Structure 1
Amino acid sequence: MTDSDTRRPATLAAQSLESIDPASGGVVPAIQPSTTFVRDRDYEPLVDGRIYARDQAPTPEHAEGLLARLEGGKDAMLFASGMAAATAVVQALRPGDHIVAQDVMYWTLRAWMISFCADWGIGLDLVDGTKDGAFEAAIKPGQTKLVWVETPANPTWDIIDIAAVAKVTHAAGAKLVVDSTVVTPVLSQPLALGADIVFHSATKYLNGHSDVLAGALVTAEDDPFWARIKDNRLNIGGVLGTFEAWLLLRGMRTLYLRVERCCSNAMAIACHFDGHPAIDAVLYPGLESHPRHAVARHQMPGGFGGMLSLRVKGGREAALRCVANLRCFQRATSLGGVESLVEHRASVEGPDSPIPDDMLRLSVGIEDIDDLIADLESALA
C-alpha cells in the first residue's frame, strides 16, 4: 500500500490495509508473537530496526497503521487499555501546566485526573461543556497545555463543537484531545475538525466483541508532545500485547458494518421511545429535539452513534425495575460490542455521581431491532 492508495476507509478496514500474508498467502493478517528480534553479524537490527517488542512489534504496528489511516492521522499508538492511553497523555505534561476538561465525561478518567493533577501540581478546571464559551473562559493562555473533550459525552450524550473548541485551544497554544470512543472514525473525523490527538477506548467499538482491553491514540502531527507520550508508553510499559492487537485488528475489519447497524438500531429505539408514556426523556443526538442536534449533524456525518440514555418515569426504583426485567439487553458495564447492554450508571459511579438516578444507559448492539424494542417495552410495562 502507498500514500496514493485510493481505497475508501471501509475497504481499508475490511482488508486490514494489506492483510495477505506473504509467507503463506493467507487472507487473514499474520500474527508475530516474538518479543525480541535478531541482529545481523555487525550487530545491527536485522529487520526494520526492530530490537524488542515493547516499542516495536509487527502485529500492533499493523493495527496502528490501519487506525491512523482511518482517522487521517500521521501516527497511532496502541496501549494496554483506554486508561493507559489517556494517562500517558496527561503524564506528558509538566508540573505547573493546566488542563481544561468537561465535567461530564468518562467517570474513571475524570476521577483519576482530579487525583493525579492535585498530586503532581497540574491545574485542572472542569467545565460545563454544554455552555457556549465555557472552554474559552477556563483556558489560561500560557499555562493551559491541554484541553480534553469527549463528544458525545458519556452518559448524557452532550455534543461539544470540536471546531469551535479547537479554535480557542490553539489560540492559547494548547493541544486539543478528543475522546472519540463512541463516534469511531466511521462517524466523524476529529483531526479534520481541528483536534490534535484522537483518543479511543479501543475496548469498545474498535474491537467490538467485548473480548479485548485496549486503548489508542492518533495524532495529527508527529511533534515533540507526541514524542513525550511515546516515551511514556515505552518507559512505563503500557503496551498492547500481540494477541490482543491481532484481535483488535480482526475487530476493525467489521467496524463499518457493526457501527452502521448499531446506529440504525439506536435511532430506531430513540424515535420509538421519544414521547413514550413511561419515559421522561430520551437523550440521543440523532433526535431533532437534542439541543445540539445541528452540531452533531455537522461533525458526525456518518451517523449519531449506538449509545443513548433513557430517563425513566418513577425515578430510581422504576429504572432499576426496568433493568431487572430486561432479557435481550444484558446488565453489564462497557459499550460498543455486538450485544446490547444496559447500565444504571448512577449505581456504578456511586453516591458522588452527578448522573440522575432515573437514567439508564443503553449500548445498542446489532440484534434484530424488533426484539430490542419489544424487550424495552415489556420491561417498562
Structure 2
Amino acid sequence: MTTALDEATLRPLVPAVIGVLVRRGADFAAAEDAVQEALVEAVRAWPDDPPRDPKGWLVTVAWRRFLDVVRSEGARQRRELAVDSEPEAGPAEDADDTLRIFFLCAHPALTPASAVALTLRAVGGLTTRQVAEAYLVPEATMAQRISRAKKTVSTGSFDRPGDLATVRRVLYLVFNEGYTGDVDLAAEAIRLTRQLASLAQDPETDGLLALMLLHHARRPARTRADGTLVPLAEQDRGLWDTGLVEEGVDVLQAALAQDRRGEFQLQAAIAALHADARSAEETDWVQVVQWYDELLALTGSPVVRLNRAVAVGEADGSRAGLAALAEVDPGLPRHRAVSAYLHEKDGDLATAARLYAEAAALATSQPERTHLTKQAARLNQH
C-alpha cells in the first residue's frame, strides 16, 4: 500500500473519526489534535501493515492519543467508555457526525479564512504544513490561525444544527483559491463537496458540485505554457475534460429537476451552456442572459449584474451591453475590463485601450495584469 493510497483512504475518514471522539467526551480541539497524530502514525504504519478496518484503527489510535494527553496533564476524570470495549459507530452515525464536523468548521464566529483553514484540517485531513503551503503563508502563522479557530468551535454545541449555506460558501472559497502547494485545492474542494452532497441530499449542494466540475473541466485550457491567461472565447475547447463536463451536467440536471433553485444551481446552468457550445460564437447567449436574469432576481449581486452586461453584449450587441453596464457600480472590480471589452466590440478602440490599461493597473493578480496590459498594447498598435 503506497503513501498516496494511504492518504486517499485516510482523508475521507477524518471528520467521522473526530465525531466519534467528540461523542466520547473529547472537546473538538483535543479530538482534532489526536486525529492528526493518528493520521501521522497511519501514514507510517499502514504501508507495511494495512488494517482491515481503517476507521476503527484511526478511532482506537486517536482515542489513545487523547487519553495520553489527558493523563499527562494530570486529569483524573473517570471515563466509563474504554477504547477496546466501545462499539463502533454505525454508518448512519458516521454520516451524521461528518455533517456536524462540516458545520462546526463553518462556525459563524470564524472569519472566512479561518473557516477554510479549519475545514481543510478537520474535514480534509490536510496537515498544517500543507494548508500553509496552499495559502503561501508560514506554517507557524497557519498553526496559530487553526489553533484559534479550534478553540472557537470547541465552545459550541456538537448537537446544534449547522448552516449548510455557510458550509457551501466555505467550500467555494477553497475551490477558488487555486493550485499552489502540494495539494490541489480545487480538486480537494470537489472531493469535499462530493462528500457533503452525499450527506446533505440537497439540490443546492449538488448545484455547487456541478459548478465546480464544469469550471474544473476548463482548467487545462485556461492558461498558456508561459502562465498567461486564456480568455474563455479563445480557449481550445478540445482540451476541456469532457468527462467532468458530462458529470457536471448530469448532476445539475438532477438538481434542477427538484425545482428548488439556488444561486449555485443557476451559476452552474450558465457554465453548462458555455460547456455545451463548440465555440464562443455558438454559445446560446440569449439563454445565458435568461439565467443571469433569474440569478440577479435571486441575489441582487453587483457581480452578477456585471457579468450579465457581458452576456447582454453578446446576445443583443455592444450598445445593449454598454447600456446594461451603465446600471453597474463603476467601482466594482473588473468593471473597467468589461467596459473595455464592450467598447472594443463597439469599435471604439481608443477608449477600449485606455480602459484596458486602467483595468491592468487595478488588477489584483499578475496573470490578470499581464493579460489586460497585452490587450491594451494590442489595441494601441492600431
Question: So what's the TM-score if we normalise by structure 2?
Answer: 0.24
Higher share in strand: 1
TM-score (norm 1): 0.24
